[in-house]
Amino acid sequence: MQNTIKLPVSTAPARFEEKIQAAYQAFRHRLTLATADQFFLNATQYLQALTQTGEGCLVLQMRKGLSFTVRRNIWDAQSIRETLVEPSFLSRLYLGRKPVVVEVGGYIGGFAIYAIKAFRAAQVITYESCSDNFGLLSQNVVNNTLDHRITPVHAAVDCLAKLFSQHQLGQVDLLKVDASRSQLDWLATAPQHLLHQVRNIVVSLPSEGAGAIAPVLNRQFSVWVEQLVSRDRR
């Protein structure tokens, strides 16, 4: 009977890969911390809020003098990152001087405040239907002393004509709709003459829901579609 000799399997390649992965993760962490430190006075707390869930709230202090109360649920800090740290195409929008901005799905107020600071908006009207989110939105607006220029509305939007009438709007320079948390029927069926009074529309929606904006894209006005990773914000 022939003897079989079993050679030990080398674990060196696996360990080497683990070391490379660990080094890469450490590098990414330092890079993220360095980026966060450019924007936040309490960068470590921001990173914790961005990656860890927990109880209660914390206040993120930005170097530009802004402050945001966020919950320790990851999504709040991510919304601040998307809007104020990595604003993507929003920073390329040109809205002219002192634009009027309407936001549907204001969440905790990050974009509304961004619109004042980045676009120098004369007026921002921001709708949020969730009570918990609306509470934080209102708090963040007041804490940044912007309640004279930002109007939070605790309601859902179901009619563009009603929105124009309620706020006595003649023209809207930017209409931003978070379609991951809002239906688009009211926008797709809006009267043509009202749509001509909206200069820019930005729609944020889950990547699998791009077809939902198709009726709006057929209209004769400019529409930006921001593809976001599908996420459940509650």
Reported as a single tens digit per residue, the pLDDT across 165-216 is 999 999 999 999 886 655 677 887 888 888 889 888 887 766 555 555 555 5
Contact 127, 156 (CB under 8 A): yes
Tell whether 66 and 147 lie within a shared domain: no
Residue 113, domain member (yes or no): yes
- Average confidence (pLDDT) over 54-78: 93
- What pLDDT is recorded for position 9? 54
Tell whether 127 and 68 lie within a shared domain: no
Report the sign of the C-alpha dihedral through residues 111, 113, 115, 118, in that order. negative
Tell whether 97 and 179 lie within a shared domain: yes
Residue at which a domain ends, from 49, 67, 83: 83
- What pLDDT is recorded for position 208? 55
Tell whether 97 and 70 lie within a shared domain: no
Query: Which residues, 6 or more positions from 221, have their beta carbon under 8 angstroms from its beta carbon?
Result: 195, 196, 198, 201
Range of the domain at 42: 14-83
Residue at which a domain ends, from 26, 56, 83: 83
Alpha carbon distance 81, 105 (integer Å): 17
- Average confidence (pLDDT) over 116-121: 92
Residue 54, domain member (yes or no): yes
As a whole number, the mean pLDDT across the chain is: 80
Which residue, 218, 212, 129, is CA-closest to 228?
A: 212
Contact 134, 154 (CB under 8 A): yes
Alpha carbon distance 182, 152 (integer Å): 16
- The tally of domains found in the chain comes to 2
Residue 8, domain member (yes or no): no
Q: Would you call 224 exposed, middle or buried from its count of C-beta atoms within 10 A (0-12, 13-18, 19+)?
A: middle
Alpha carbon distance 223, 234 (integer Å): 27
Contact 119, 99 (CB under 8 A): yes
Tell whether 73 and 92 lie within a shared domain: no
pLDDT over 70 at 61, yes or no: yes
Residue at which a domain ends, from 68, 83, 98: 83
Tell whether 114 and 210 lie within a shared domain: yes
Which pLDDT band holds residue 151 (cuts at 50, 70, 90)? very high
Residue 124, domain member (yes or no): yes
Tell whether 38 and 91 lie within a shared domain: no
Residue 33, domain member (yes or no): yes
pLDDT over 80 at 47, yes or no: yes
Residue 9, domain member (yes or no): no
**Buried residues in 153-183 as b, exposed as e (16+ CB within 10 A):** beeebeebeebbeeeebeebbbbbbbbbbbe
pLDDT over 50 at 49, yes or no: yes
pLDDT over 70 at 218, yes or no: no
Tell whether 101 and 37 lie within a shared domain: no
